A = this chain, B = another copy of it.
């Protein structure tokens, strides 16, 4: 056989050089890759229109192209990435229609999810949300766009997760993944200031157990935040 193609399989799902890291968890590499790309998307490390290559991501993450392929298919199914007719993968570009639709979908789903979460939101949950919001205020003052985006995502999803929803929540996550890259791009341009703080209104509604007020606050937060985004840049893109 002469060992024609030194396969050096280095086999095994987990990195062989770190036996104590992940002891053979099924799909551990794939999960790590997915988490990496998702946060890259949500924090705007990927710019809309940016080309995403299998081998590029793979070498960047230090894994083989194999798990990256599966993750890309997975994210493409959620429309967080697009596979062009020639097979090339890229971060989807925003359009006026897409933007309006995402806004509409968020307004349909998120207030409802928040209302579903309300009965399960304890006082300690509210306190945690307040902490996040205070940190958001700091990011707004210092103009930290990435920090704002991460914390804003945390604020909403810490709340939404309490709904225990297995159906609606993934739909909402898909929406966030879709406008994340665009959001980052625009925030970098127009800044993150002068946002009315509907988060505070949400917290007040949580304290008073007022589902209608919570729905309204979330809806306003969405309309306000995205309304500020959609007004200027989209037609010029």
Contacts and interface: CB of A to CB of B under 8 A. Distances in A.
A72 to B, nearest CB: 9
B168 A101 contact: yes
A112 interface: yes
Contact of A166 (B26, B98, B175): B98
Interface residues of A, number: 37
B178 A101 contact: no
A112 B108 contact: yes
A167 B80 CA distance: 11
Contacts of A167: 79, 98, 101-102, 104-105, 175, 178
Determine how many copies of this chain the complex contains.
2
A101 B166 contact: yes
A105 B69 CA distance: 30
A104 B112 contact: yes
A170 interface: yes
Interface string A135-152: 000000000000000000
Interface string A80-107: 0001011100000000011001101100
A126 interface: no
5 contacts: A27-B87, A97-B166, A101-B167, A105-B109, A105-B168
Nearest 9 pairs between A and B by C-beta?
A101-B167, A4-B4, A26-B87, A77-B77, A74-B77, A70-B73, A73-B74, A73-B73, A108-B108
Given A70-B70, A70-B73, 15 more contacts: A4-B4, A26-B85, A26-B86, A26-B87, A27-B87, A73-B74, A77-B77, A77-B78, A97-B166, A101-B165, A101-B167, A105-B109, A105-B167, A105-B171, A171-B171
